[in-house]
């Protein structure tokens, strides 16, 4: 049996006529930047999350960058975040000349441990940026409470959790600013790069809209130093189609994730733990095993593709050596990074394919 790690082709076939029709409308209009396709997507994203403002942008990385820029983060500032995430989380902090202050993760959720945040706050702290990893929201109430005590903004890096819920609210609408990614493999993915920023703050929304368009407040008049961070109309049109079907896909992902947990109950692996009051969109279905490399090799031989998200925590990456961290500084992140591995996951994974994966693991 041939199994795809993520079956984007099956998804396209499901919505092919709708997607093709919308994309051809963009071509016919010749309005490739901005326009009604982008406006429609932004309205629907805002309605979906409950946020007042949804702003399409060029990628999840640029969404994070724009959020930090809008908050005035710059040289000498500190941003508290997690070392167990994709590099873009800390990369954008460094690009602005600020410093990532890492806080270790909770071993159950793999998200930043709120109990360890407060001791890392200093007079230089400018923001807290938790990551909602693998499709499950960080403990945002606890984080927001700490942030309010110190009058700090919170940016949810929701690049993997669009569609997840936390105590009845949608990811991306849980903090000062929420940022997500529409990279093709995400639960809601474009056919290229894309992202979005969410906020209920009118001033921040206005500023971020300017920043993503070279800081313009009107044509050729620039209030800020900005970037070219626009989302093109083709991607907006594709995302708007897929958003109509997204709740159905989220439900399927949850069912597949729960079924994995049940089927792997008696296997010698650690399955994801979903916190009470929360749901996960399973951007990845990640398990932990003691003998990861051997497991990966055997699954590969059996025809089961896998991936590792993420094998090296950020504090141990050469790019961040100037931060002065070393091995042993964040023991839970280091432990998880040595054991974590991701299995095939998409809304279109069949029960037969899932059974094949689980049988291969048990064998």
Residue 180 sits in a domain whose CATH number is 3.40.640.10
To the question of pTM greater than 0.95 for the whole model, the response is yes
Last residue of a domain, one of 198, 213, 244: 244
Residues 81 and 183 in one domain: yes
Residues 266 and 160 in one domain: no
Residue 327 sits in a domain whose CATH number is 3.90.1150.10
Last residue of a domain, one of 198, 225, 244: 244
List, for residues 129-157, the tens digit of each pLDDT value. Answer: 999 999 999 999 999 999 999 999 999 99
Residues 212 and 261 in one domain: no
Residues 266 and 227 in one domain: no
Residues 122 and 224 in one domain: yes
Residues 239 and 257 in one domain: no
List, for residues 273-319, the tens digit of each pLDDT value. Answer: 999 999 999 999 999 999 999 999 999 999 999 999 999 999 999 99
Residues 234 and 312 in one domain: no
Cα gap 199→201, rounded to integer Å: 5
Domain count, the chain: 2
What are the phi and psi torsion angles at 274 (to 5°)? -95, 125
Q: Is residue 206 part of a domain?
A: yes
Confidence of residue 344 (pLDDT cuts 50, 70, 90): very high
Q: Is residue 2 part of a domain?
A: no
User: Domain span at residue 301?
Assistant: 246-362
Confidence of residue 1 (pLDDT cuts 50, 70, 90): confident
Q: Please check the confidence at residue 252 and state whether its pLDDT lies above 90.
A: yes
Q: Is residue 174 part of a domain?
A: yes
Last residue of a domain, one of 191, 217, 244: 244
Mean pLDDT of the chain: 98
Q: Is residue 153 part of a domain?
A: yes
Q: Is residue 1 part of a domain?
A: no
Residues 196 and 251 in one domain: no
What's the 3-state SS for the chain? CCCCCCCHHHHHHHHHHHHHHHHHHHHHHCCCECCHHHHHHHHHHHHHHCCCEEEEECCHHHHHHHHHHHCCCCCCCEEEECCCCCCHHHHHHHHCCCEEEECCECCCCCCECHHHCHHHCCCCEEEECCECHHHECCCHHHHHHHHHHCCCCEEEECCCCCCCEECCEECCCCCCEEEEECCCCCCCCCCCCCEEEEECCHHHHHHHHHHCECCEEECCEECCCCCECCCEHHHHHHHHHHHHCHHHHHHHHHHHHHHHHHHCCCCCCECCCCCCCECECCCCEEEECCCHHHHHHHHHHCCCCCECCCCCCHHHCHHHHHHCCCCCCCHHHHHHHHHEEEECCCCCCCHHHHHHHHHHHHC
Q: Is residue 122 part of a domain?
A: yes
């Amino acid at each position: 049996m041939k199994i795809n790690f993520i079956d984007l082709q099956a998804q396209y076939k499901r919505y092919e006529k709708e997607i093709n029709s919308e994309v051809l409308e963009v071509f016919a209009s010749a309005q490739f930047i901005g326009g009604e396709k982008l406006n429609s997507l932004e309205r629907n994203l805002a309605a979906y999350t409950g946020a007042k403002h949804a702003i399409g942008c060029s990628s999840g990385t640029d969404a994070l960058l724009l959020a930090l820029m809008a908050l005035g983060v710059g040289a000498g500032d500190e941003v508290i975040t997690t070392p167990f995430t994709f590099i873009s989380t800390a990369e954008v902090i460094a690009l602005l000349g600020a410093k990532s202050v890492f806080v270790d993760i909770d071993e159950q959720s793999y998200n930043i441990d709120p109990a360890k945040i407060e001791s890392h706050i200093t007079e230089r702290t400018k923001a807290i940026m938790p990551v909602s990893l693998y499709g499950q929201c960080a403990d945002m109430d606890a984080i927001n409470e700490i942030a309010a005590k110190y009058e700090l903004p919170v940016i949810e890096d929701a690049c993997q959790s669009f569609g997840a819920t936390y105590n009845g609210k949608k990811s991306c609408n849980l903090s000062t600013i929420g940022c997500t990614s529409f990279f093709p493999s995400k639960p809601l993915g474009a056919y290229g790069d894309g992202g979005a920023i969410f906020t209920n703050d009118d001033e921040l929304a206005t500023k971020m809209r300017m920043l993503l368009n070279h800081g313009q407040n009107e044509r050729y008049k620039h209030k800020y130093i900005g970037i070219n961070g626009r989302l093109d109309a083709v991607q907006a049109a594709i995302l708007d189609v897929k958003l109509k079907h997204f709740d159905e896909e989220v439900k399927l992902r949850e069912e597949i994730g729960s079924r994995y947990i049940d089927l792997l109950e008696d296997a010698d692996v650690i399955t994801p733990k979903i916190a009470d009051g929360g749901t996960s969109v399973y951007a990845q279905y990640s398990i932990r095993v003691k003998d990861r490399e051997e497991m990966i090799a055997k699954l590969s031989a059996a025809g089961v593709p896998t991936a590792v998200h993420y094998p090296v925590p950020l504090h141990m990456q050469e790019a961040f050596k100037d931060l002065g961290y070393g091995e042993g500084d964040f023991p839970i992140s280091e432990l998880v990074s040595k054991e974590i591995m991701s299995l095939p996951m998409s809304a279109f994974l069949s029960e037969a394919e899932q059974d094949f994966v689980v049988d291969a693991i048990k064998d």
